[in-house]
Structure 1
Amino acid sequence: MTKRIFLVIIMMISTLGIFSFKNNATDVKTSFASFYHDKFNGRKTASGEIFSNKELTAANRTLPFGTQVKITNLISGKSVVVRVNDRGPYHSSRAFDLTKAAFSSIGDTRRGTIAIEYEVMD
């Protein structure tokens, strides 16, 4: 009997322990971002939208289409919120391909990539 009570108590503590831990760490990550070439204007994105370098959109390999992401340039501190509507970039060191409008709002397009911090917006 005492073994059974002991096991029930351990199971209750384990179950309650799982629910008591919250992920207090923000989901801010760092990586690099590049921007789309103008040759993609007018082409379809992976989501089916027509691409425009004038919009504030981005490509990411895994985030669902429509996800809003805050991208911050780690050097300048400037930020922009973009909407994921395409897949890519297909370069392992970069997490995002930004439109020229998004990239130029936080960095210099004379540079091919910038170090970024990104956070999925709720």
Structure 2
Amino acid sequence: MSNKLHVAAFVIGAVAIAASTGTASAQCGRASWYALTSKTASGERMNPAAMTAAHRSLAFGTKIKVVNKANGKSVVVRINDRGPFVKGRVLDLSKAAAQKLGFIRSGHTPVCMAKVG
């Protein structure tokens, strides 16, 4: 399956999940990455090698599947921090998650995400 078809299938699936659960769990926008070693808003130490992310409102511990719309790569991350605090961004990912999604060099990318589990 081509990357564009994979992304389209994920977005359609995420919208279907959101509709069936009655929640707005599907969201698209821009994501960036960060690699601090300070404490996160949840109280745990930020680990750049972990599959974690910051989101403004999702509960800590929520797992989400994130798809890079530019290349179709995906990863599941756990929310453990708050942010991003940059206009137009919906997610801050750990360095490891950004690496798996393939956007370390650019620093940010368009993504779609949906809750899993």
TM-score bracket, shorter-length normalisation: 0.7 to 0.9
Q: Which runs of 5+ in 2 are unaligned?
A: 1-18
**Would you say how many aligned residue pairs link Structure 1 and Structure 2?**
97
Kindly, what percent of the aligned residue pairs are identical?
41
Q: CA RMSD in A?
A: 1.6
Of 46, 55, 67, the residue aligned with 2:50 is: 55
**Match of residue 83, structure 2, among 80, 88, 92:** 88
Q: Does residue 68 of structure 1 match 2:63?
A: yes
Instruction: Write the letter of the residue equivalent to 2:32.
Output: S
Partner of 1:32: 30
What secondary structure is seen at the aligned counterpart in 2 of 1:69? strand
TM-aligned CA deviation for residue 86 of structure 1: 0.3
Q: Which runs of 5+ in 1 are unaligned?
A: 1-22
Q: Is 1:110 the counterpart of 2:105 in the alignment?
A: yes
Larger Rg: 1
CA distance in 1, matches of 2:91, 2:64: 10
TM-score, with structure 1 as normaliser = 0.74
Deviation at 1:91, TM superposition (A): 1.3
